[in-house]
Structure 1
Amino acid sequence: MFGLNIGVKKGEYSILYMSPETLLNLEAWKDILLSSKVYAEKVSLIAIDEAHILESWGETFRPTFARLGELRSHFPCVPFLMLTATCTQHILKQITTRIYLPNLKMYTASPDRPNIYLECKRATDIFKELNWLFQEVKEKGIKARKTLIYVRSLSKGGCLFRDILGHLREYAFHEKRKTHNSSYIALYHAGMNSKDLNYILEEISKPEGVIRIAICTIAFGMGINIPDIDMVIHWGACFSIMDYWQEVGRAGRDGRKAKALYFITPGSLLHASDEMKNLCRSVEKKDSKCFRSAILSHFIGHTKTSQLVCTLQCTDCNCSRCNCCYLCYHECPCRKTQDN
């Protein structure tokens, strides 16, 4: 490690990957950025990935993100590359303010994930709404689909974990061995020790891993890339549309069809942003004809028509609408013909 630090200080590496905390701690800031002639003369690009978190994390959760703007004063002529898949107009304004980018050149792409079917509804009883999922675990065990259940607080996650284990009883364990490492259900949150967190990530990443349902907080987020998550369920309203879409994106990363089910529980919207409240009101009042479009309209790069969605095939009527969202599914002309 000592040799690595010496190499970094001498500028022996072409590319450096660092967290803001590592980059802006006292030693790195003083010895590398402020005192090194090598860095003053040879830095050619500063890239910030997941740039949207400058706005969402920069005040409380990881305040060091708010300091990244200081780099602009020390590298005034160096190009900055900001990367994010979920940027709204509000976030863009915050980013340009924090990083001081008056002449921003922007290239956009649609943040759509067309292989994920979307559904939204109000709910009170998780065992009524997800009885089919728990029944699948009982019947298929290790062959049940991989599912993430996002909750908005650790206390809610703990209660659900306890209740689901109690509901499944001996069916919650592989081959009925009631041990920590044989449970189909896991609870994942930032307060856990690294050994337990690593076990959950490693196990759920395996195609035939024991864990089939992970109840998780926002800690199960960036940097986690599990290709075969079949379903993401939100039990309780997200704070923002950006948070929601980021978490939906954990499903179907291998390109296969996946589902995202959004359950608005009593009281959960009280702590949501105005944009999330407005979204939920609009779909409940049927002001929106498509849940996907109502979500994507908040993001830069969204186009009204998703060409990718139209390439999907529906097992019921071979149309794209049934694969989009629950609103499109119920309004599909083919569906109405079948119902009649």
Structure 2
Amino acid sequence: MGVSVLPSHPLSKVLAEVFGYTGFREGQQQVIDAVAAGRDALVLMPTGGGKSLCYQLPAIQSDGLTVVISPLISLMQDQVEALQAMGVAAAALHNGMSSEEAAAISQQLQENAIRLLYVSPERALQPYFTRQLQQWPVQLIAIDEAHCISQWGHDFRPEYGQLGSLREMLPQVPFMALTATADAATQADIASRLHLHDPVIYKGSFDRPNIRYVVEDKYKPQKQVRDYIARQRGASGIVYCGSRKKVEDLAEKLHQDGIKAAAYHAGLDHKIREQVLRGFVRDDIDVVVATVAFGMGINKPNVRFVVHFDVPRSVEAYYQETGRAGRDGLPAEALLLYDPSDAAWIRSIINEQADEDRRRVEQHKFAAMQSLGEGQTCRRLMLLNYFNEYRDNACGNCDICLDPPRQYDGTVDAQKVLSCIYRVEQRFGMNHVIDVLRGSKSQRLTELGHQQLSTYGIGAEQSHEYWLAVTRQLIHRGLVVQNIQQYGVLQLTQAARQVLKGEVALQLAEPRINLVVSKPRVADRGDYDKVLFRRLRALRKAIADAEEVPPFVVFNDTTLVEMAVHYPTDKTALLEITGVGQKKLERYGTEFLSAITAYLDADDEPLLSF
């Protein structure tokens, strides 16, 4: 995301002194100026792209009230804490607070002492609250996670869909809808349902160049995930699973491995979910294993990896979930474990959808997600193309670019698999076919007499995972189908006949069993002093714990990295660091300058990489 050098914009001083930024990110100034002129706005910016500044910055400078409608209490609390740490008059009204707390905030609102008020959509629609809105000096209504408004969005919420009624009550107040994910149909639906008047539409780039996208064949998923997380050495990450049982099983195994991991899903007690979320945001928990219930409430910039244990149901969901990694702009990774049988199961669920229009939309969205998981071209190009951001050049930072699939003459391998499927009478699943190919001595195979088949043991020289990868490619090529209605048995198609007879040659990608690109810890980079960074991180955690706020409220990782590059030793130099504004300099400057000075005094020559 580009940064423009600040001209003499009216909000330049606030941006620098409060937020510690020396320039607007791309699109921010355009949106701010439009709303200042009384225009509505629809803002599409990627996660971490700076959407919130579009309403926070003008709110700070104004004499009126900006109301932000946000989906989750935890998200409101984190944003309010971060703003209050910068000296901004911000508050939230939600059901989790006492009547005394709510009354105190109401009094401040009557006195026009609050500039930013966060509320849930449910509260925003309550008659008492809407009457209050019409009395307060409201200058802007900002609706975050606006894709929830649309029936075509991947996370439609009925209460969000009713927010258009606020526009009728406040016809002169500008409305700003913000989201990170919305295709053309969703964008149109948002504008229609909110009754936006000729909105300024800003579409930022969907590209997150700091995120490395990696897809691996899913063969021993729990082991794959456990090995992957072990390589991250305590970095923060999220693992998304498709069921509550998988969440609990994997979280327990990670915990047994000595990893600070916790489970999160909608079936857990509300207090437990809150504890997990707060522990993760405050760096007490390294890895959260979750269903998609662990979603929009994550206000944590330093998530270094997101793993999908199961394939998501849409590219929008995948993009939003992977976008929770690397919001601070530092290197991050998104790992998807892909199994075509998972895809077949999801397709069968979608086909049970009673609403024909909804079923058609979900089928379309999942087909695009399948293509992303099964593709042999640059993952980032496929992702950006889905959002109509067309590019020609490969990214150089995905598994396909870093370790391009090597093609080989796979005719013989294909014939072995196809022939084996035929010999077991197309009545068995993938694992059994591979067991026959590899000459397994399992009791079930012997009971069936399959050790007598001509294909028994003809693939013994290769691993189970190798044949798994080959078989999946044959499914992708349309030579084999996996019949989900018959428990995943493999069946040949008409197209398999020519390959079996040797009438056509077949090029396959060499199976990628031991993918190398994701093995290094994704946060590793050699341009900053990692020892100093770790010391500053420990100092930040101690301050955050004492103040009972998340560590990023003190400083985010990007700020600490800059400190570990430039070694500021006085207040002037510290103010030059991104994310250090006047208020944070006053609150935390002395302790961080002392830590840096002590470190430099102890080491004659700081080391830049380890």
The TM-score, its normalising length taken from structure 2, stands at 0.43
Contact conserved, 2:213 with 2:334, CA < 8 A, in 1? yes
Change (3 A) 1:292 1:134: closer
Question: Structure 1 CA distance, aligned partners of 2:320 and 2:109?
Answer: 33
- For residue 325 of structure 2, the aligned residue among 251, 256, 261 is 251
**1:276 is aligned to 2:366:** yes
Matching residue of 1:156 = 246
1:172-214 alpha-carbon deviations (Å, 9 max, x no partner): 34xxxxxxxxx6221012333344334323433345x3x3332
Matching residue of 1:107 = 202
1:113-168 alpha-carbon deviations (Å, 9 max, x no partner): 1111101244242134335226548xxxxx43332110123233224334x25xx7
Question: Structure 1 CA distance, aligned partners of 2:400 and 2:287?
Answer: 27
Question: Structure 2 CA distance, aligned partners of 1:60 and 1:131?
Answer: 29
Matching residue of 2:384 = 296
Give identity over the alignment, percent: 31
Matching residue of 2:150 = 55
> Which runs of 5 or more residues in structure 2 are unaligned?
1-101, 351-361, 407-610
Change (3 A) 1:195 1:92: same
Q: Identify the range of structure 1 (106-115 vs 211-220) with the bigger mean alpha-carbon deviation.
A: 211-220
What secondary structure does 1:83 align onto?
strand
Matching residue of 2:452 = none
**1:25 is aligned to 2:126:** yes
Question: Structure 1 CA distance, aligned partners of 2:190 and 2:214?
Answer: 31
Contact conserved, 1:147 with 1:232, CA < 8 A, in 2? yes
Q: Identify the range of structure 1 (276-285 vs 61-70) with the bigger mean alpha-carbon deviation.
A: 276-285
Letter matched to residue 326 of structure 1: D
Question: Structure 2 CA distance, aligned partners of 1:236 and 1:201?
Answer: 22
What secondary structure does 1:259 align onto?
strand
Question: Structure 2 CA distance, aligned partners of 1:278 and 1:46?
Answer: 34
Matches within 5 A, 1:73-92: 73-92=168-187
Question: Structure 2 CA distance, aligned partners of 1:92 and 1:144?
Answer: 39
Change (3 A) 1:56 1:117: farther
Change (3 A) 1:228 1:24: same
Matching residue of 1:16 = 117
Contact conserved, 2:304 with 2:333, CA < 8 A, in 1? yes
Shift of 1:260: 0.4
Question: Structure 2 CA distance, aligned partners of 1:252 and 1:57?
Answer: 27
Calculate the aligned-residue CA RMSD, in Å. Answer: 3.2
Question: Structure 2 CA distance, aligned partners of 1:195 and 1:251?
Answer: 25
Shift of 1:65: 0.7
Change (3 A) 1:281 1:79: same
Letter matched to residue 132 of structure 1: D
Contact conserved, 1:58 with 1:64, CA < 8 A, in 2? no
- For residue 184 of structure 1, the aligned residue among 254, 260, 265 is 260
Matches within 5 A, 1:71-150: 71-101=166-196, 103-133=198-228, 135-136=230-231, 143-150=233-240
**1:193 is aligned to 2:269:** yes
Matching residue of 1:236 = 310
Change (3 A) 1:66 1:206: closer
Contact conserved, 1:49 with 1:83, CA < 8 A, in 2? yes
Contact conserved, 1:150 with 1:216, CA < 8 A, in 2? yes
Shift of 1:215: 0.5
- For residue 400 of structure 2, the aligned residue among 313, 327, 336 is 327
Contact conserved, 1:110 with 1:303, CA < 8 A, in 2? no
Letter matched to residue 338 of structure 2: I
Contact conserved, 1:58 with 1:65, CA < 8 A, in 2? no
Contact conserved, 2:314 with 2:369, CA < 8 A, in 1? no
Letter matched to residue 251 of structure 2: F
1:30-89 alpha-carbon deviations (Å, 9 max, x no partner): x325xx4x35xx433222122112126999974211110111222223321111222211
Matches within 5 A, 1:206-217: 206=282, 209=284, 211-217=285-291
> Which runs of 5 or more residues in structure 1 are unaligned?
138-142, 174-182, 310-319, 334-340
Q: Number of residue pairs matched?
A: 289
Contact conserved, 1:233 with 1:261, CA < 8 A, in 2? yes
Shift of 1:252: 1.7
Question: Structure 2 CA distance, aligned partners of 1:296 and 1:234?
Answer: 19
Letter matched to residue 193 of structure 1: D
Change (3 A) 1:126 1:251: same
Higher RCO (CA-CA < 8 Å; seq separation 6+): 1
Change (3 A) 1:99 1:130: same
Letter matched to residue 290 of structure 1: C
Question: Structure 2 CA distance, aligned partners of 1:242 and 1:6?
Answer: 41
The TM-score, its normalising length taken from structure 1, stands at 0.73
Change (3 A) 1:253 1:49: same
State which structure, 1 or 2, has the greater radius of gyration over its C-alpha atoms.
Answer: 2
Change (3 A) 1:85 1:187: same
Change (3 A) 1:161 1:132: closer
